[in-house]
Amino acid sequence: MTSNPKDAFPQIDTVLVSMPSLNSEKSIIGELTLSKNRKMAKVSPPSRSTRYQTEDQNNVVKLGNRNYKRVELLPTNTAQESYVEALLDKRMVFAVGPAGTGKTLLGVLRAIQALRSQEVQKIILTRPAVSVDEKHGFLPGDLNAKMEPWTRPIFDVFEEYYGLVETKRMLDEGVIEIAPLGFMRGRTFKYAYVIADEMQNATPDQMKMLLTRIGEGSSMILTGDLKQHDRGFDKNGLKDFLEKLSVTPKKSMAVCKFGREHIERDPLVADVLEIYGEED
């Protein structure tokens, strides 16, 4: 195994942003310029590839005889620009803000890029099983089926880029894994991209347990909206850790904050939040 990630993955520069080389002074994404400090995490995973990791120089993934939608990280505002830079530079990123700001979407796209470029071997999805004013009890089906109501927004993105059939196959083969917080204790995720969504609903103990699961060659993105907490603000694990991080900042982590002005959904979403009196 080579110790140089660039030797192991010679196509990495075009995979990341399909724009100028990361070795240049600056790289352009769309019409926005990102910092020259952006870099890849140094990982050298064991040589193991799947049909989902084959990609040509035009960033078009090929599955059999079919081409699927290429992945591009295209920020549409300055907050997303900083977020994209953090996703490419840090192994642990916290994205905090209201719905519609692209937190989960960009995080999932970055995970797909990492998988296709063989930076990681699998994608781990997790999310607190707490819904708004609902009790689901014992849902029918296997673990994936039970978690489907909470992971549906994430799988909408996977299905857009892989299609329904290939996404299901990736689940069956363990390339995509759903790992509820309650089943993570004792595990260590190596060469995986972990996406933890809606983490404002995690307890402080759950947050600590999740953050300590990260292992060699892995990255983690945690998203949430501190103003939408179903467990109560005092039991908010995301708030608890961010407060601790503000006292003891770490260069290995990044916190990206979004406001109502960064919402990229229909303008009515921002209007609804304004009616409810939510401040940025």
Task: Kindly list the domain boundaries of the chain, sorted by start residue.
Answer: 77-275
Q: Are 269 and 99 in contact (CB under 8 A)?
A: yes
Phi and psi at residue 95, to the nearest 5°: -115, 120
- Contacts for 65 with CB less than 8 Å, ≥ 6 apart: none
Enumerate the β-bridge partners of residue 63.
Answer: 66
Which amino acid, 33? T
Q: Which residue has the tokens 């983490």?
A: 199
Alpha-carbon gap, residue 75 to 106, rounded angstroms: 9
Alpha-carbon gap, residue 51 to 53, rounded angstroms: 6
Secondary structure (3-state) at 247: helix
- One digit per residue, pLDDT tens: the chain, 280 residues? 444 544 444 443 333 333 333 343 333 333 333 444 444 444 444 444 444 444 444 556 565 566 778 888 999 999 999 999 999 999 999 999 988 899 999 999 999 999 989 999 999 999 887 654 334 445 555 666 666 666 788 889 999 898 888 899 999 999 999 988 877 888 999 999 999 998 998 989 999 999 999 999 999 999 999 887 666 656 789 999 999 999 999 999 999 999 988 888 777 877 887 898 765 4
Task: Give residue 266's pLDDT.
Answer: 78
Task: Give residue 227's pLDDT.
Answer: 83
Task: Give residue 59's pLDDT.
Answer: 53
Looking at residue 235, the DSSP 8-state letter turns out to be G
Alpha-carbon gap, residue 32 to 27, rounded angstroms: 9
Q: Are 180 and 143 in contact (CB under 8 A)?
A: yes
CB atoms near residue 150 (< 10 Å): 21
Alpha-carbon gap, residue 271 to 276, rounded angstroms: 9
Which of 134, 145, 139, 117 has its CA nearest to residue 15? 117
Q: What is the CATH number of domain 77-275?
A: 3.40.50.300
- What is the CA 180 to chain-centroid distance, rounded? 16
| The model's pTM | 0.71
User: Which token pair is 187?
Assistant: 């595990």
Task: Give residue 256's pLDDT.
Answer: 97
